[in-house]
Each structure stands twice: as C-alpha cells, then as structure tokens.
Amino acid sequence: MELKEKLFDAIFYNAWDFKPENVVPECEKITNEFAIDFADWLNNGRFSQYGDSWIDPRKNKDKDGGWLFFSSKQLLEIYKKQKGL
C-alpha cells in the first residue's frame, strides 16, 4: 500500500470523530515506518555518501567509467519506484 493511501486511511477512518490525538499518532507511526524503511534501504551497504551526494560503488558508472552521483531526492524516487509507492 502506498504511503499516501496509508495516511488517507488513517485520516479517513477517524473523520467522523476527528480528534488530533487519534489521528496524529497513527500518521506519525506511518511516516516513521516509511523513514526507517528508506534509511534501511539507503544504508544497506549499497550506497555511500560522498559529500552531499550518494554513489553506488558496485555499479552505475558513466560512459567514461566515473561514478554516477545521486541526490537524496533522486534516491527517494528510486526507492519509491522499487517499492511500488
């Protein structure tokens, strides 16, 4: 299930008796799980940080054999695509 679907469900199921104390903890739990999953994916040894960019030392070389650099935002999009989010 996509992140936005999980958040929608957390909010929608509490819409009739909307109380922030019911919705906020559930939304926080969902976003924390997403952040932890992304961090685990990022730090599983596949990517290395190089300054403010990231590289995949095992592959992803350009045509001249140099490293391809990724921003955190690019990696987030790759992660979401791989996970079907």
Per-residue DSSP letter, 9: H
pLDDT class of 4 with cuts at 50, 70, 90: confident
Domain that holds residue 85: 47-85
Q: Which carries the bigger pLDDT value, residue 56 or residue 6?
A: 6
pLDDT digits (tens, 9 = 90+) for 61-76: 777 777 778 888 888 8
Cα separations in angstroms, 6 against 1, 9, 60: 7, 5, 33
Element (H, E) at 48: strand 48-50
Q: Looking at the structure, do residues 2 and 39 belong to the same domain, yes or no?
A: yes
Q: Looking at the structure, do residues 4 and 37 belong to the same domain, yes or no?
A: yes
What is the number of structural domains in the chain? 2
Residues 34 and 41: beta-carbon distance below 8 Å = no
- As a whole number of Å, the end-to-end CA separation of the chain is 7
Dihedral sign for Cα atoms in the order 13, 17, 21, 22 = negative
In this prediction the pTM is 0.69
